[in-house]
Structure formats: C-alpha cells, structure tokens
A = this chain, B = another copy of it.
Amino acid sequence: MIKPLSVLNQSINRNVIVELKFGRGYRGVLDGFDPHMNLVLKNAQELANDEVVNRYSLAIVRGDNVIYISP
C-alpha cells in the first residue's frame, strides 16, 4: 500500500505523462507538486493526438485539471 502523493514524490526528476480534462496531455520532468496535485513540469510538451503542439521550459499545472499522472 502506497499513498498517491508518495508515488509523486518518488517521481521527482523523472519523466511523467499527465492527462488533463478538456482533452489535454502533457509530457515532462516532474519538478514539484503540492497536496492539491498542483504540478511543476520542466521541459514540458503539450500533446494532441500524439503530436507535440507546444513546448514550455517550465509549467505549473493546477491540480483540479488532472485526470491521471503516469510516472
């Protein structure tokens, strides 16, 4: 048994896939998070239909948009 936030903690500095509501997907290095699942992503790519549509060196994603995070 592991807590969801512990898995996030173990994923720091690792690549994660983040699926958001409204059909948005992101890929990037998890640089930080807080208990609301607000996320800090480094070298983030926004994806649509598996294609990169935007790149951000740093992005703060508000947690209430998150559907799932896969380390």
Residues of chain B contacted by A20 (CB below 8 angstroms): 67
Q: Contact: A4 with B24, CB < 8 Å?
A: no
Distance from A42 Cβ to chain B, minimum over Cβ atoms (Å): 10
| Total contacting residues, chain A, CB less than 8 A | 40
Contact B67 A4 (CB under 8 A): no
Is B4 a contact partner of A58 (Cβ separation < 8 A)?
A: no
Shortest C-beta distance, A57 to chain B (Å), equals 8
A contact set with B: CB distance below 8 Å: 1-9, 12, 17, 20-22, 24, 31-34, 37-40, 44, 56-71
The contact sample of 5 A-B pairs, CB cut-off 8 A, is A1-B31, A22-B67, A59-B69, A59-B70, A65-B67
